[in-house]
Amino acid sequence: MAILKRIPRPARYEVCDVTVILLALGAACCLGLGFVFQQAAAQHAPMKDFLSLRLLLDLVRMPLWVAGIGLMVVGMALGAVALGMGDITLVEPLLATNLLFAMALSRRLTRQRLGRSGWAGLWLLAGGVTAFIVAGRPQGGRSSGDHMWQWLIMGMVLGVALLLAAVAKRERVHVSLEAALLGVAAGLIYGLQDALTRISGERFGHGGWSALLTSWQPYAIVVLGVLALVMVQSAFESAPLRLSLPALTAAQPLAGILCGVGFLGDQLRVTPGALAWEVIGIVAVVAGIVLIGSHPAMPPGAGRTENARELQPR
């Protein structure tokens, strides 16, 4: 702490930002590898457990899935530390690079070359994240005191996620659309969970464990985490990874940035030039995610013959 006090204010923030970036990239690596392991196991789960808590009870018996969950927990812990040190509008785009690490592992398992689409997706994702961060220059500010606005945004994000999950559960949709809907729903919930993690970190920093455990946010984080986990594993169970993970990866930063700017007090540059590059960056990130997710190197996830469902209406 004494060393930090001797560092000039701008330099101190640069050191902090570098640490946040490294933590967020470490989190993305763990999440990406964990998702690949989880999907490899989930494709063998009984389809009767679709969108049910029983699915988690079946999966917990599979060592590969447990390893994937372990990696995801480490990734979430690193992400929580990054969110505690930095702004959600900085951390969320970096977490979206988890797809690059998932792609790297999948490519090694499938022995597929990247090719034009793979390299294009890689550069679009990396370039889009860089463009958004450089143009937006995310900075933390004072959290909004308007609790009605906070509840409105949180309710909207959660409501859309639950609606998408309900459509995937009840309507006769294609399996590819079903997996994408669940991926988007889980991504929205994870983005909301990240925002609540940021608030929990601030409460812990100001009041310690007593302030943290007497607030509702930590308990909401656990409930949202279980809900999102059921959605993700159901998507992994029902269809190939490339149909759900890109949707999840694209939705999470969008929800996180919305919460960050909407009620956490994060600020982005709003000059015409900066806004243009921020939009270009977000579009590039989404395009890169789609290209990487559709690459042949991503696991096909055929599963067992008796459990696999073809890409056709139910």
DSSP characters for 75-142? HHHHHHHHHHHS-HHHHHHHHTTHHHHHHHHHHHHHT---HHHHHHHHHHHHHHHHHHHHHH--B--P
Count H helices and E strands in the chain, helices first: 12, 0
Q: Within a domain: residue 193?
A: yes
Are the C-beta atoms of 102 and 36 separated by less than 8 Å?
A: yes
Q: Within a domain: residue 294?
A: no
Q: Within a domain: residue 211?
A: yes
Q: Within a domain: residue 2?
A: no
Start-to-end CA span in the chain (Å): 60
CA atoms within 13 A on the CB side of 138: 28
Query: Does residue 107 sit in the same domain as residue 180?
Result: no
Of 113, 128, 159, the one marking the end of a domain is: 113
- Domain with 261 in it: 142-268
pLDDT tens by residue, 174-194: 777 888 889 899 999 999 999
Query: Does residue 37 sit in the same domain as residue 83?
Result: yes
Q: Within a domain: residue 307?
A: no
The Cα diameter of the chain in Å comes to 65
Q: Within a domain: residue 41?
A: yes
Does pLDDT of 312 surpass 80?
A: no
Residues paired with 267 in a beta bridge: 139
pLDDT tens by residue, 255-286: 988 888 888 877 777 788 888 888 898 888 88
pTM here is 0.79
